[in-house]
Amino acid sequence: MIAIIDYDMGNLRSVQKAFEAVGHRAVITRKRQVIADASHVVLPGVGAFGDCMRNLESYDLIDPITQSIASGKPFLGICLGLQLLFTESEEFGSHKGLNVIPGRVVRFKRTENHLAGLKIPHMGWNAIGVRKPSRLLEGLSDACHMYFVHSYYVVPAHDDVVCTVTDYGDPFVSSVARDNIFACQFHPEKSQTGGLQMLRNFGGLS
């Protein structure tokens, strides 16, 4: 059973429906025991980084998240759920993250020579270029397109966690993978065939 963590931030039902569409049972929950008993855990997220961290703290969900990761069970972060795993974010000030993966969350910055003609937020379909293999990407075509909506992106402290990169003016890290953790900036639940294949792969991990 897949536990989708509910902290009042994000389109949780669409993530649940996407898992159900590929044959995996998923429940939306903030109950510690349900999260502990789940075989897989998903941390989605849409909104401001600081608000999300406050909600995780107010619902007492930080320990269940870090314990799930430490247990070795498959863990998936989606969009802000990727960013929250990092050390800190510069979104609307400086905010501490979960510090599971060392690194920072920074904003796309438009200058005369960078991002000229490109909109912020980065919104729509874009290709992911694979930098290291992951079981979640099995069965996906080369340069598979995924759906993005974001103004901030992650900068890992160590390159060995980088799984895919995406070009938007310059390349940025669009997913990371380490041990039992996979986390992506894009929305697999909105990414049609490729995204559903990724969720199918995640649900099949043991």
Residue 126, C-beta contacts closer than 8 angstroms, at least 6 positions apart: 145, 146, 148, 166, 167, 168, 174, 186
Q: The tokens of 138 are what? A: 């099995």
pLDDT tens-digit map of 45-95: 899 999 999 999 999 999 999 999 999 999 999 999 999 999 999 999 999
pLDDT tens-digit map of 132-169: 999 999 999 888 999 999 999 999 999 999 999 999 98
Containing structural domain, residue 112: 2-203
Active site residue ranges: 79, 187, 189
Check whether 117 has a pLDDT greater than 90: no
Residue 43's pLDDT band (boundaries 50, 70, 90)?
very high
- Please give the tally of structural domains in the chain: 1
Check whether 11 has a pLDDT greater than 90: no
pTM: 0.96
Residue 199's pLDDT band (boundaries 50, 70, 90)?
very high
**CATH label of the domain that carries residue 116:** 3.40.50.880
